[in-house]
Structure 1
């Protein structure tokens, strides 16, 4: 039941944020901060992965709650720097698709993994997502402002995922508090 509730909440959240997918079309125009902020929200692959990182962090609990999002954001920045520098990485799109599938499956199965191993897995996927953000940065954008935008958006999606993951405990807490009275 908790998995169904988590999946339903995640689906409802994603449906409220989803806009037409445009994360991999080669944006144009004067963008800066807002373009970077919107980039993770305009591609369902980025959106699902970043929310899944937060949900999975909450499922793992303990230090994974902060370590997974921190690892993702740190490695996202590294991947973005590679992309902005024009350094090619193999199979970026396939890796991004794999991140959606793998993290989605880990969340669905409520698979607990040691925090360090989970952070490494999340970090590898983050490099690919960051590379995508970096290579798709509009030429007119200021790299720092664009990067700050997608970092803020990513952190917000992680926080939303953590909230979704923690929300699965609410029914149990509500019923437990009624039993105490």
Structure 2
């Protein structure tokens, strides 16, 4: 079961949208918003880690962590779309992968409020990157809805993976460690 979960996570991380028809706008605002976060390993790993973290904490964290992330990601997206400068975005995004992976690896108890603050902090940077990279001619509302939907799907997959590995503490910790190592590679690269 663990190997299957890892295989699914890796396939999701490498998936790209199929564009079978040429000569058209690559995607609507909604589809562009969905595709953008799915195309970045850093975002996929961070979102899955938020879900794993939520599953690790359980209870109201299952909805509170993803909600905190999505809400603050929208704030960051608005900052990016309006041209507000946010420093060290790429560094903070890569650091989010390292930190969230480490949090899952260490499996320490967190208060829901502290966990929401942590994921919310990193969400601003993820959202900012989405906002800055909005394709020309794409509506901001549908694009934002798209990256919210994609993020929520990835959070959900992380929660499912966390639920599957909940009884296998070593598997969950190994997954977190693999995410943290990938984050270190992103920081170095």
Q: TM-score, normalised by structure 2?
A: 0.78
Residue 95 in 1 paired to residue 92 in 2? yes
Determine the C-alpha separation between the residues in 2 that align with 1:38 and 1:97. Answer: 19
Answer with 1 or 2: which has the greater Rg: 1
1:18 maps onto 2:13 in alignment: yes
Question: How far off is 1:20 after superposition?
Answer: 7.2
Instruction: Report the Cα offset of residue 140 of structure 1.
Output: 1.3
Q: CA–CA distance in 2 between the matches of 1:91 and 1:19?
A: 25
The aligned length equals 161
Contact 2:15–2:38 (CA<8 Å) still a contact in 1?
no
Q: CA–CA distance in 1 between the matches of 2:150 and 2:15?
A: 17
Cα deviation 1:2-41 (Å, max 9, x = unaligned) = xxx4xx56532321113379xxxxxx96641111001111
**CA drift at 1:63:** 1.5
Greater than 6 Å deviation, 4+ residue runs: none
- In the alignment, is residue 154 of structure 1 matched against residue 151 of structure 2? yes
Q: What whole-Å deviation, never above 9, does each CA across 1:102-132 have from its counterpart, x for those lacking one?
A: 0011111222211000000000000000000
Deviations 1:55-112 (A, max 9, x none): 1000011221111000000000000000000111010110001000000111112222
Change (3 A) 1:10 1:56: farther
Q: Aligned equivalents of 1:171 and 1:66: distance in 2?
A: 22
**Structure 1: which 5+ residue stretches go unaligned?**
22-27, 173-181
CA distance in 2, matches of 1:11, 1:108: 15
CA contact (8 A) 2:29 2:140 kept: yes
Report the CA distance between 1:148 and its aligned residue.
0.7
- Tell me by how many angstroms 1:169 deviates: 3.8
Question: Which range moved further: 46-55 or 163-172?
Answer: 163-172
For structure 2, the 5+ residue unaligned runs are 17-24, 170-189
Pick from 99, 114, 118: which aligns with 1:117? 114
Is 2:54 the counterpart of 1:57? yes
Matched, 1:46 2:33: no
Query: Is the contact made by 1:76 and 1:130 (CA closer than 8 Å) also made in structure 2?
Result: yes
Provide the secondary structure at the position in 1 that maps to 2:84: coil
Answer yes or no: is the 8 Å Cα contact 1:9–1:164 preserved in 2: no
